[in-house]
Chains A and B, each alone.
Chain A
Amino acid sequence: MKLFSLRGGLSLAGHKGGTAGRPIRVMPAPPVLHLPLRQHAGDPAKPVVAEGDTVRRGERLAESAGPLSAPLHAPAAGRVTAVRPETAPHPSGLPAETVVLETAAGDDEAPLAPPVEPEAAAPGEIAARVGDAGIVGLGGGAFPAAVKLDLGHHYALDTLVINGAECEPYLTADDQLMREKAPAVVDGARVMAAALGVGRVVVGIEANKPRALEAMRTAAGRLPDGPAVVALPVRYPMGSERHLVQVLTGRETPSGRLTAEVGVVVHNAGTARAVHDAVRQGRPLTHRVVTVSGGAVRRPANVMVPLGTRVRDLVAFCGGLRADPARLLAGGPFTGNPLPGLDVPVVKGFNGILALTADEARERPAQPCIRCGACVEVCPCGLVPVEMMAHIRKEELDDADTLGVRDCVRCGSCAYACPSHIPLVQYFAYAQGRLRGLDVERRNQDLQRVAARERQERMARLERERQEKKARQARRRQQQDAEQQGGEAPRKADPAAAGPVADQGSRTGS
């Protein structure tokens, strides 16, 4: 298959040797699980259990709270001991509503939902099942997968891309999953293609995973119209959605739009596997594969871990820490988030837990920018980070916007390459957040302006009507006077003239 080129990007040391090629270890449920209600992009799920309830494995703990939300299921049988705020697995370390589940011995599984036959399924049935199973994008984005399976109703789609690039260093969860569960991944991809109504499925895997490529090709080859499995050039950020689409199809996603705009939907390989489980077996998402790695971890491994397991328990399962890590991350070193500590749970979007030593994190205080242009050379989006940064430093956000700061996918290539160690992504994340805030402000201001104008017009109309009424009354009085002088009808009050006009427009206050 013809591949298209990627602008910029990085050639990286993989650091994958510690975990690649070793079988996924299955972690038994720890005594207590902590399941935050918001493990996905969108609204937090609404709990359907309360303190004291006993639940079986796979039973629903919380339901979807709207179109952009996802339900939550029990990864193990046990008893709900609390639904309360606990430290969220988020850099802020702020508390978030969490279901605390004391797990019980034994394996009491709730009855499974009946399998759905993708070929015979009604439109929307697959997406509905995927939504009911609580599946979100397992590549790290945690976007509710059902929403992305519904895009066929809004866009003319022709291709489903399964993202098995796994381009970040250290991470091997997808690699290992594709090696061990290739048939399930391939089937999940076919199920999703059916839901999307597309005829073409392409699996993209970086060429540094020959075993995963082989396993996936074998699994795809067993099917009459199996997906195309493509070896991608090893170049960061190959796994970025719009870059992957560009490399595989040559189609460039317009700024600010979804890849669906060019007919392509991308799902992660792990998501495909979860979809297979949900649709073919009726099993909800309760576990995921996490790469536990980094120089501070004693026995790095890929672990099939129950959601809600504390990072502390997961790390202990991997032999514990050999050193105090300089950074503890959820996700890869390029796009992962720092964790506030070990006592936060694993959630659906975590593809890795990295405990990096100072030698690995290589953090240094920032030096002055010397405009070397390394950031421009590596930026895969064609941006000029050095200029955007200079504007954001001066809070000139509109200038940064003009330069395309919103097109930044925050892959981190620029900050990695910056010899002055300037935290460029930090600037861009800040600017994107501020610009979003400004958008809301501007929208509100526009609404207020419209409301104020409408009020003015309304007041003017009422005033006009009052004047006209007055004039009419005056005319009528004159008429009546004239008639009375003629000695005919008695004088009658005009009911419409009664009552002052209330001020109805004061709520805008402008």
Chain B
Amino acid sequence: MRTPTRSAPFTHAGTSLGRIMGQVMVALVPATAFGLLQFGWPAVFLFATTVAAAAAFDALGLYLAGRPVADGLADGTAVLAGWILALTLPPWAPWWIGVTGAGIAVLVGKHVYGGTGQNIFNPAMVARVALLVSFPVPMTTYIAPVPLWEAAAPGFVEALAITFGGAQPVDALTVASPLDALSTALHGGAAVPQARDAVPALKALLTGTVPGSLGETSAGLVLAGGLFMLAVRTISWPIPVAFLGTLFGLAEVFHQIDPMHYPTGLFHLSAGSVMLAAFFVATDPVTSPVSRTGHLIFGAGAAAITFLIRTWAGYPEGLGFGILLMNAATPLIDRWARPRIMGRDRNGRPLAGGGGP
């Protein structure tokens, strides 16, 4: 029998970091599998490279910090960051994009701050934004989906050349993503109805048979993963609901005012990384507030910034910025959105007595 060394409780819900990260990964499998199938071998290589690099950088970071490497890796946070980052990359991007991104995510995004739980910004979003700003061309070179089994798809060797050999994707295949297309058309002076012609139908956006990042194209499958996490309580509802609700609401308000210039709420929800961001990135516990009120503010804020950037700023996709800015606001939100303590008023003063007779 062990000597008593600590206080109760001597029972536990049975959760652990590894288990939480495992649940998130399970939730990511459908969207990831779909992306890998539809974008073929180059996507498989890029994904494997990015995840492996994230794990390797995590091991390095843990080693340099003098922490147990196996235990640190086992919490799964680094692999998950690499995984999510890979899903946001253009599927035929060269290997060094994945490796650089993984390095930024894990070393700069996490270990520099002191490791798991200490970072202020979401590692995957830090890497994505850093890559987007540093390497705009490979980060915006999208391809039309060519499923693995189709003749037009690059073979294994051809794919090796694309990912590792610096071969340029065949020009005929490169296209704009839906948000790029809409953004370009709108900035070219077109109204939404015409601009929408450049954009795939809503159904295609939901199933994901459109050009886009490796694992983000299928809003439906990402949403399914998100709902799974809600069902097994990996995440709680306030962040995704506040995020999606605010984005939809803002888009609809502007669409009602001027349907010629502002696309519908449903378009905003189904395009780009919205679903991935709402369920898998904004809900990152480390970089989001801790209380329910805080979650609501955080989700709504990230969505509002995303909408602002998508609608009026230079980047077609504003999610990375929206989330990073709200990450920065998280300590403030936490301070402001504390629950009321039992027996005290909102300002922390003890309640007056004499509630009795």
Which residues of chain A in 421-447 are interfacial with respect to chain B, using CB atoms and an 8 Å cutoff? 421, 423, 425-426, 429
The answer to whether B8 and A264 touch across the interface, beta carbons within 8 angstroms, is: no
The answer to whether A416 and B11 touch across the interface, beta carbons within 8 angstroms, is: yes
Taking chain A's interface residues, is the majority helix, strand, or loop, or is none over half, making it mixed?
loop
Q: A252-B351, A257-B350 are in contact. Are A333 and B339 (CB under 8 A)?
A: no
Q: A416-B11, A419-B17, A420-B17 are in contact. Are A382 and B342 (CB under 8 A)?
A: yes
**A interface residues, tally (CB under 8 Å):** 80
Give, as a whole number of angstroms, the nearest-CB distance from B55 to chain A. 17
Which residues of chain B in 100-153 are interfacial with respect to chain A, using CB atoms and an 8 Å cutoff? 115-118
Name the CB-closest residue of B to A429.
Answer: B7
- The one of B75, B339, B352 that contacts A367, using a Cβ cutoff of 8 Å: B75
Chain A binder among B39-47, B221-229, B284-292: B284-292
**B interface residues, tally (CB under 8 Å):** 52
User: Could you tell me the distance between the alpha carbons of A156 and B338 in the complex, rounded to whole angstroms?
Assistant: 33
Q: A255-B344, A362-B12, A373-B289 are in contact. Are A419 and B7 (CB under 8 A)?
A: no
B203 adjacent to chain A (CB < 8 Å): no
The answer to whether A368 and B11 touch across the interface, beta carbons within 8 angstroms, is: no
User: Could you tell me the distance between the alpha carbons of A192 and B344 in the complex, rounded to whole angstroms?
Assistant: 30
Chain B binder among A60-68, A274-282, A334-342: A334-342
A345 adjacent to chain B (CB < 8 Å): no
A49 adjacent to chain B (CB < 8 Å): no
B19 adjacent to chain A (CB < 8 Å): yes
A377 adjacent to chain B (CB < 8 Å): yes
A384 adjacent to chain B (CB < 8 Å): yes
Q: A254-B351, A256-B350, A368-B75 are in contact. Are A263 and B11 (CB under 8 A)?
A: no
The answer to whether B344 and A327 touch across the interface, beta carbons within 8 angstroms, is: no
Q: A264-B356, A370-B77, A373-B291 are in contact. Are A337 and B14 (CB under 8 A)?
A: no
- The one of A157, A361, A421, A425 that contacts B7, using a Cβ cutoff of 8 Å: A425
- The one of A261, A383, A412 that contacts B8, using a Cβ cutoff of 8 Å: A412
- The one of B13, B71, B338, B357 that contacts A417, using a Cβ cutoff of 8 Å: B13
Q: A402-B348, A416-B11 are in contact. Are A242 and B1 (CB under 8 A)?
A: no
Instruction: Report B-chain residues with C-beta under 8 Å of the C-beta of A156.
Output: 354, 356-357
The answer to whether A382 and B285 touch across the interface, beta carbons within 8 angstroms, is: no
User: Could you tell me the distance between the alpha carbons of A169 and B9 in the complex, rounded to whole angstroms?
Assistant: 11
The answer to whether B20 and A339 touch across the interface, beta carbons within 8 angstroms, is: no
Instruction: Report B-chain residues with C-beta under 8 Å of the C-beta of A324.
Output: 1
Give, as a whole number of angstroms, the nearest-CB distance from B233 to chain A. 9
Name the CB-closest residue of A to B19.
Answer: A419
The answer to whether A158 and B356 touch across the interface, beta carbons within 8 angstroms, is: yes
A363 adjacent to chain B (CB < 8 Å): yes
- The one of B1, B9, B14, B343 that contacts A325, using a Cβ cutoff of 8 Å: B1
Q: A255-B350, A420-B17 are in contact. Are A426 and B285 (CB under 8 A)?
A: no
Instruction: Report A-chain residues with C-beta under 8 Å of the C-beta of B19.
Output: 419
Name the CB-closest residue of A to B11.
Answer: A333
Instruction: Report B-chain residues with C-beta under 8 Å of the C-beta of A373.
Output: 236, 285, 289-291, 294-295
Instruction: Report A-chain residues with C-beta under 8 Å of the C-beta of B348.
Output: 402, 404
Instruction: Report A-chain residues with C-beta under 8 Å of the C-beta of B355.
Output: 251-252, 261-263
User: Could you tell me the distance between the alpha carbons of A429 and B9 in the complex, rounded to whole angstroms?
Assistant: 12
Name the CB-closest residue of A to B283.
Answer: A372
A328 adjacent to chain B (CB < 8 Å): yes
The answer to whether B285 and A377 touch across the interface, beta carbons within 8 angstroms, is: no
Instruction: Report A-chain residues with C-beta under 8 Å of the C-beta of B236.
Output: 373, 377
B66 adjacent to chain A (CB < 8 Å): no
The answer to whether A361 and B10 touch across the interface, beta carbons within 8 angstroms, is: yes
User: Could you tell me the distance between the alpha carbons of A225 and B117 in the complex, rounded to whole angstroms?
Assistant: 58
Q: A382-B342, A383-B341, A386-B290 are in contact. Are A339 and B4 (CB under 8 A)?
A: yes
Which residues of chain B in 12-39 are interfacial with respect to chain A, using CB atoms and an 8 Å cutoff? 12-17, 19-20
The answer to whether B7 and A370 touch across the interface, beta carbons within 8 angstroms, is: no
Give, as a whole number of angstroms, the nearest-CB distance from A482 to chain B. 71
Give, as a whole number of angstroms, the nearest-CB distance from B90 to chain A. 30
User: Could you tell me the distance between the alpha carbons of A380 and B117 in the complex, rounded to whole angstroms?
Assistant: 24
**Residues 373-412 of chain A, each 1 if its beta carbon lies under 8 Å from chain B, else 0:** 1101101111110110000000000000011100100101
Seen from chain A, the residues whose Cβ lies within 8 Å of a Cβ on chain B are: 7, 91, 93, 155-158, 169, 242-243, 246, 251-257, 261-264, 324-329, 331, 333-341, 354, 356, 360-364, 367-374, 376-377, 379-384, 386-387, 402-404, 407, 410, 412, 415-421, 423, 425-426, 429
Identify 22 residue pairs between A and B in the complex whose beta-carbon atoms are under 8 Å apart, listed by A's number: A7-B342, A156-B357, A252-B343, A255-B341, A262-B353, A327-B1, A327-B10, A331-B8, A333-B10, A361-B11, A363-B10, A367-B71, A368-B75, A368-B118, A370-B285, A373-B291, A373-B294, A373-B295, A404-B344, A407-B343, A419-B15, A419-B19
Seen from chain B, the residues whose Cβ lies within 8 Å of a Cβ on chain A are: 1-4, 6-17, 19-20, 71, 75, 77, 115-118, 236, 285-286, 288-292, 294-295, 334, 338-344, 348, 350-357
> Apart from A384-B290, A387-B334, what are 19 other A-B pairs with CB-CB below 8 Å?
A169-B11, A252-B351, A254-B351, A261-B353, A262-B353, A262-B354, A263-B355, A326-B1, A334-B11, A337-B8, A370-B285, A373-B285, A376-B292, A387-B338, A402-B348, A404-B341, A412-B9, A419-B13, A419-B17
| Closest 7 A/B residue pairs (Cβ) | A263-B356, A338-B4, A412-B9, A255-B343, A372-B285, A373-B290, A362-B12
